[in-house]
Amino acid sequence: MNRRAAARAMLQPHRRYNPLVDDWLLVSPERTSRPWLGRQEAAPPEDLPTYEPYCYLCPGNVRANGETNPMYESTFVFTNDFAALRPDSPHLSIDNGLLRAESERGECLVICFSPRHDLSIARMSAAQARPVVDLWADQSAALGERFRWVQVFENRGVAMGASNPHPHGQIWAGDAVPREGEKEDASQKRYYEANGRPLLLDYAAQESGGPREVDGDDDWLAVVPFWAAWPFETLLIPRRPVARVPDLDQAQRDSLAERLTTLLRGYDALFSLPFPYSMGWHQAPFDGGDKPYWQLHAHFYPPLLQATVRKFMVGYELLSEPQRDVTAEDAADRLRAAIRSASPKAAVPSD
């Protein structure tokens, strides 16, 4: 099939393969024209104060466990008061036919990006975002000395379950490599053994300058993946071999801060509102082994299909396979335009 015929065919229902997790998804572009009478998402507030006396993440305020935050001036890290993983979990081992369970030891951290209650990464300058990058790297390195998997992530907005609007993220570290990590590890290893090159570096080279690239520089590529499941999902990939966040050199960290703020301002400009999303870094397991096949990358999963309509992963998605309502190419085109429109905006001063 020639390129023009393939482009026409991709405007009709079809399936796309995700080599990173060895899975498929359904693409149904015509569904965006259906009438919508379901839930409408409320626009998040844009006029947050710089300090909120009742916020448990603001400097000097008391948290739920009774501890008082320091008067921090940049970033701040503390152990989650309601941690999902604990370093002292008691031993558990059950293996009874189809009934299996095992203990999981770990640690959960909360990381505040800024002392300002209103300063999201999307509103930061690159210089303001750089300490966040260093925080991800430093905490990943420290946790990686004790745990195999270190998951850095951020949930932004009530639509993605954020319990507090203060700009913050989390890091969960555990002994086990979880499901998504196992799938990506297996796929990347299999591809490397067959081709002698990292899967995501080959993918970045293939997508560079193409219809799904939304932003980039000499160090990073931001792309709406060919296999994206969420409407405006993006993948951020270093252009050179890097296995983990701590492995990024100073130049890569500087350019990462630029790419983060540019991409997230583009998201906010897409529907002229603070865009909700879940994002996270996938880095090689910290098990001491040599993993030349692993390429560091960040996933961004924004749920909105329209300004007040979110994409729900329900029904067919839960019972069969992921399904999306807009092609990756269309999403990338709209996100590129939003990034261009947002680029002249000045960042908010930090003081």
Task: Tell me what pLDDT residue 36 has.
Answer: 46
Handedness of CA 165, 85, 107, 260 (dihedral sign): negative
Amino acid at 230: W
- Residues taking part in catalysis: 168
Per residue in 45-96, pLDDT (tens digit) is 668 999 999 999 999 999 989 999 999 999 999 999 999 999 999 999 999 9
Q: Give CA separation, 229 vs 29, 32, 175, 208, 327, in Å.
A: 12, 14, 29, 20, 10
Ordered per-residue pLDDT tens for the chain, 351 residues: 677 777 777 788 999 999 999 999 999 987 655 554 455 566 666 689 999 999 999 999 999 899 999 999 999 999 999 999 999 999 999 999 999 999 999 999 999 999 999 999 999 999 999 999 999 999 999 999 999 999 999 999 988 889 899 999 999 999 999 999 999 999 999 999 999 999 999 999 999 999 999 999 999 999 999 999 999 999 999 999 999 999 999 999 999 999 999 999 999 999 999 999 999 999 999 998 889 999 999 999 999 998 888 898 999 999 999 999 999 999 999 999 999 998 655 456 655
Sketch out the chain's domains with CATH numbers.
43-342 (3.30.428.10)
Question: Strands 106-112 and 149-156, how do they pair?
Answer: unpaired
Beta carbons of 338 and 43 less than 8 angstroms apart: no
Is the entire prediction scored with pTM above 0.85?
yes
**Residue 206, helix vs strand vs coil:** helix
DSSP 8-state assignment for residue 347: P
Q: How far is CA 293 from the centre of its chain?
A: 21
Per residue in 107-123, pLDDT (tens digit) is 999 999 999 999 999 99
Structure-token match 């993948």, residue found: 235
Q: Give CA separation, 127 vs 81, 222, 256, in Å.
A: 30, 20, 11
